[in-house]
């Protein structure tokens, strides 16, 4: 490119000296992560893919469990075959006993802090601890024996149990052993647990949602060895894959759903119910297609009333599940059961729901359709859903996930009406919990250590799926604006996303593990990488780590490896740091290029001289109409009084023509264009670098947006200058006009500054306890006296 040193910039409004580049500031934000991430090795490669020596151990389970509906009690036995695929000999095995969290002396309880507000403390805050006092909760291990029936030594350390093997388990070998146990089921509403029962006083029946109910193997891997961190209640679960066969014995009138495929439908379903189930096959591909009701509301209500007649009768439901990391089930005589069988990426999958009549009309209308929608949406963005079924179950658990099985809240009012908030919560929670089948049930991250790896990634996909369900859905969890209140907090009230799950401040766990990583991924997709590069890399991560156990570095490296985008600066700031995004448009200097055409330059100089000559003194002197001496006496005027310094001379014209002969055609166009040049001075007040997005509103009423990558901060992460050239004059500049970088203070994003009014609202304080917002449906129902519509109440 030729040197354009001929271009003379003339400051139109502000001293051009202000446009110089700021002095360089020491900046390490764009250095590579380096030692902040583990060194690649043969188990986990530098690309983020599993290495050639990657391994994971497995455990297969054969379980028999009986549910006592009279005593709310579980009695069970299991035979486990554990396969050691590691290069290490294992002298002992570690298993998880999660029900022991409900023992009063468990660390998860004794280490819990709290306070009582003398003015207002909820019963829920007080009930959790009180519900455990005097109760006999926790796993009761009655036997641990080897394949020959001989007792094995074991030690219980709160929520962990170590089984000492007779001899170390060599690499490539397996061991089989058996465990007998029982426990009292917790009241889920009293303990805020992830598993338990709900009692319905009006009809005297229970719903059981059972999880963390059996002793199961801890993970042993190349990163941590045994992951045997205690279950404290916040950080969830670290598990390994295996095959399950589970026989669940329950009262004969119960409907039982579980992880996996039902093996004996002919033995547990009536001929009518079996016929309905078969009729559902292949349904669910057309919009508006209703789920097939397998167990109707009328049948569920009859079972509620007739329970006394079958109190001793039992049925055993047998489920099998292959290559899953956990197993959960739900059981109740209150359950309505409906199903669809949609095509998901070329394979038929069962989408099913279990819910009591108290869930209608919401559940019958939405739940199963949402399950099918979620499987389709997530499969497009990750891998095709590999399992045969996915359940959504309504009971006491507000939202919890297991392989092929999710427990979800959102219940209408007793009159069948519901608020917009309740409906939106149902949509959100079903999509979120069913979506967890992909993260962490398939992409099997370590929840105990890194909550964000499943909750954050899943919340991101949930937001996209919600908008695919309804374009107007308030999917605020992935919008950058939604995380601003959290990022505005003082840094002492935050911890980095890259913090151990149990060490995240409880009152910020949601933003830290869910919203901030989800928002960060959305910023990557929409602003930093672009949709095509992001979507490909994200899908590649899911493909690489399906049915394997990734660590954070595997995700970070894969996203860069598959996209060709250096994101170390982003991981460092967004995931390892707590500094916010806060850009400020400090000022804008305006320049125009001088063409050196004397007809133009001297006319401009004349206009500027006249502008400056119009001082207040001269204006007032002119108003007095007093003539000066020179004006009165022409002999006092000479050459210079008559000389016009702004007149164009022949010499001026020749000089200009000589100048033009030295320019190329492109340079001549530039010189004569009248272009406007603006120097933007932008400050990084928050510390976290982000792309600069600026909207220009022109004097002619049009606008344009310019985007500059985050690398613009690599030489100076405090302040930068950027020159923008336009052929139109700009009247207003705005940073981050679409609120896409989570800027915590947009008041200084405009130049010239824009004053915005602060508004206040007069209101009468409302009483607490309004649920999920106002319920206009109920008000309309009361006005019209219409009975609620019920999905699944009749015969199908």
pTM greater than 0.85: yes
pLDDT of residue 123: 56
What confidence tens digit (pLDDT) does each residue in 336-353 have? 999 999 999 999 999 999
Between 779 and 239, the more confident residue is 239
pLDDT of residue 9: 42
- Look at residue 526 and tell me if it is in a domain: yes
Looking at the structure, do residues 741 and 787 belong to the same domain, yes or no?
no
Per-residue DSSP letter, 724: E
pLDDT of residue 475: 82
The 10 Å Cβ neighbour count of residue 570 is 23
Tokens of 229: 């961190």
pLDDT, mean of residues 191-214: 96
Residue closest to 411 by CA, chosen among 198, 196, 635, 628: 198
* Position 643 pLDDT exceeds 90: no
Looking at the structure, do residues 392 and 263 belong to the same domain, yes or no?
yes
- Look at residue 121 and tell me if it is in a domain: no
Looking at the structure, do residues 708 and 568 belong to the same domain, yes or no?
no
Let me know if 72 is exposed, middle or buried by CB neighbors in 10 A (0-12, 13-18, 19+).
middle
Looking at the structure, do residues 183 and 226 belong to the same domain, yes or no?
yes
* Position 254 pLDDT exceeds 50: yes
Looking at the structure, do residues 44 and 103 belong to the same domain, yes or no?
no
What is the distance, to the nearest Å, from the Cα of residue 788 to the centroid of all Cα atoms in its chain?
35
What confidence tens digit (pLDDT) does each residue in 403-418 have? 999 999 999 999 999 9
pLDDT, mean of residues 574-586: 98
* Position 434 pLDDT exceeds 80: yes
pLDDT of residue 126: 57
Looking at the structure, do residues 679 and 652 belong to the same domain, yes or no?
no
Looking at the structure, do residues 354 and 432 belong to the same domain, yes or no?
yes
Looking at the structure, do residues 60 and 43 belong to the same domain, yes or no?
no
Least confident of 130-144, 176-190, 273-287, 589-603: 589-603
- Alpha carbon distance 292, 572 (integer Å): 50
pLDDT of residue 793: 45
What confidence tens digit (pLDDT) does each residue in 454-491 have? 999 999 999 999 999 999 999 878 999 999 999 999 98
- Look at residue 377 and tell me if it is in a domain: yes
Residue pointed to by tokens 């590691």: 86
User: Whole domain around residue 87: which residue ranges?
Assistant: 55-110+127-240
Looking at the structure, do residues 169 and 205 belong to the same domain, yes or no?
yes
Between 308 and 28, the more confident residue is 28
Show the 3-state SS of 77-111.
Answer: EEEEEEECCCCCCEEEEEEECHHHHHCCCCHHHHC
pLDDT, mean of residues 252-276: 98
Q: If you write DSSP's letter for every residue of 412-459 in order, what string do you get?
A: --TTS---HHHHHHHHHHHHHHHHTTTTTTTB---TTT-THHHHHHHH
Q: CATH no. for residue 478? A: 1.10.390
- Residue 216: pLDDT band (50, 70, 90) is very high
**Domain end position, chosen among 215, 240, 265:** 240
Looking at the structure, do residues 280 and 417 belong to the same domain, yes or no?
yes
* Position 502 pLDDT exceeds 50: yes
Residue pointed to by tokens 């320049």: 591
SS3 134: coil
- Look at residue 635 and tell me if it is in a domain: no
- Look at residue 246 and tell me if it is in a domain: no
- Alpha carbon distance 738, 749 (integer Å): 12
**Domain end position, chosen among 672, 692, 724:** 672
Per the structure, the count of domains in the chain is 5
Looking at the structure, do residues 280 and 211 belong to the same domain, yes or no?
no
Q: CATH no. for residue 174? A: 2.60.40.290
- Look at residue 632 and tell me if it is in a domain: no
* Position 738 pLDDT exceeds 60: yes
Looking at the structure, do residues 280 and 332 belong to the same domain, yes or no?
yes
Which stretch of DSSP H or E encloses residue 235?
none
* Position 368 pLDDT exceeds 50: yes
The 10 Å Cβ neighbour count of residue 15 is 8
Residues in the chain: 796
């Amino acid at each position: 490119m030729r040197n354009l040193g001929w271009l003379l910039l003339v400051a139109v409004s502000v001293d051009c000296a202000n446009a110089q580049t700021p002095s360089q500031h020491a900046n390490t934000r764009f250095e590579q992560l380096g030692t902040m991430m583990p060194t690649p090795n043969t188990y986990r490669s530098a690309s983020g893919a599993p290495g050639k020596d990657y391994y994971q151990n497995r455990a297969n389970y054969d379980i028999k469990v009986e549910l006592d509906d009279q005593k709310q009690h579980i009695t069970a036995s299991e035979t486990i075959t554990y396969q050691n695929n590691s290069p290490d000999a294992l002298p002992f095995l570690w298993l998880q006993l999660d029900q022991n969290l409900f023992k009063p002396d468990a660390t998860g309880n004794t280490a819990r802090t709290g306070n009582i507000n003398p003015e207002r403390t909820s019963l829920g805050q007080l009930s959790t601890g009180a519900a455990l006092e005097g109760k006999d909760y926790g796993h009761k291990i009655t036997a641990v024996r080897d394949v020959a029936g001989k007792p094995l030594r074991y030690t219980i350390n709160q929520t962990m149990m170590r089984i000492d093997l007779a001899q170390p388990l060599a690499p490539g070998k397996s061991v089989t052993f058996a465990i007998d146990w029982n426990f009292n089921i917790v009241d889920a509403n009293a303990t805020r647990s992830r598993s338990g029962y709900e009692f319905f006083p009006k009809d005297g029946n229970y719903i059981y949602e059972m999880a963390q109910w059996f002793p199961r193997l801890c993970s042993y891997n190349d990163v941590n060895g045994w992951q045997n961190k205690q279950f404290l209640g916040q950080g969830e679960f670290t598990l390994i894959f295996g095959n399950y066969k589970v026989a669940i014995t329950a009262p004969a009138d119960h409907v039982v759903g579980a992880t996996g495929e039902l093996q004996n439908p002919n033995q547990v379903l009536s001929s009518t119910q079996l016929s309905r189930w078969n009729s559902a096959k292949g349904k669910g591909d057309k919009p508006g297609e209703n789920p097939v009701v397998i167990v109707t509301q009328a049948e569920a209500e009859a079972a509620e009333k007739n329970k006394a007649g079958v109190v001793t009768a039992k049925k055993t439901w047998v489920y099998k599940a292959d290559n899953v990391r956990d197993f959960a089930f739900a059981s109740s005589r209150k359950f309505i059961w409906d199903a669809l069988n949609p095509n998901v990426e070329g394979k038929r999958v069962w989408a099913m729901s279990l819910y009591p009549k108290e869930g209608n009309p919401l559940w019958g209308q939405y739940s199963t359709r949402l399950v099918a929608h979620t499987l389709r949406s997530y499969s497009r963005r990750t891998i095709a859903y590999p399992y045969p079924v996915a359940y959504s179950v309504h009971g006491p658990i507000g939202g919890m996930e297991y392989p092929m099985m999710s427990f979800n809240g959102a219940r209408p009012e007793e009159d069948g009406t519901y608020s917009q908030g309740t409906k939106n919560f149902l949509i959100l929670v079903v999509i979120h919990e069913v979506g967890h089948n992909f993260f962490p049930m398939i992409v099997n991250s370590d929840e105990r250590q890194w909550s964000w790896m499943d909750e954050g990634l899943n919340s991101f996909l949930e937001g996209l799926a919600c908008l695919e369900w309804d374009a107007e859905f308030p999917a605020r969890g992935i919008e950058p604006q939604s995380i601003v209140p959290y990022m505005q907090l003082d840094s002492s009230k935050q911890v980095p996303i890259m913090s151990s799950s149990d060490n995240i401040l409880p009152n910020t766990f949601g933003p830290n593990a869910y919203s901030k990583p989800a928002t960060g991924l959305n910023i990557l997709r929409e602003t930093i990488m672009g949709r095509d590069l992001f979507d490909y890399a994200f899908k590649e991560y899911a493909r690489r780590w399906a049915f394997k156990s990734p660590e954070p570095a595997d995700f970070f490296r894969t996203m860069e490896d598959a996209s060709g985008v250096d994101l170390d600066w982003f991981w460092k700031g967004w995931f390892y740091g707590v500094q916010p995004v806060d850009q400020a448009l400090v000022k804008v200097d305006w320049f125009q290029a001088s063409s050196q055409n004397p007809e133009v330059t001297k006319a401009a100089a004349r206009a500027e001289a006249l502008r400056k000559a119009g001082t207040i003194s001269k204006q007032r002197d002119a108003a007095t109409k007093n003539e000066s001496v020179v004006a009165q006496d022409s002999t006092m005027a000479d050459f210079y009084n008559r000389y016009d310094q702004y007149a164009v001379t022949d010499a001026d014209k020749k000089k200009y023509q000589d100048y033009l002969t030295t320019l190329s055609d492109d340079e001549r166009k530039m010189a004569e264009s009248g272009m406007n040049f603006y120097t933007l001075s932008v400050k990084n007040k928050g510390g976290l670098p982000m792309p600069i997005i600026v909207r220009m509103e022109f004097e002619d009423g049009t606008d344009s947006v310019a985007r500059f990558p985050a690398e613009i901060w690599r030489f100076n992460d405090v302040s930068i200058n950027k020159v923008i050239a336009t052929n139109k004059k700009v009247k207003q500049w705005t940073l981050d006009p679409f609120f896409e970088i989570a800027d915590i203070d947009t008041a200084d994003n405009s130049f010239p500054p824009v004053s915005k009014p602060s508004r206040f609202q007069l209101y009468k304080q409302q009483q607490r306890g309004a649920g999920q917002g106002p319920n206009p449906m109920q008000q309309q129902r009361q006005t019209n006296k219409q009975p609620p519509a019920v999905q699944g109440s009749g015969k199908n």
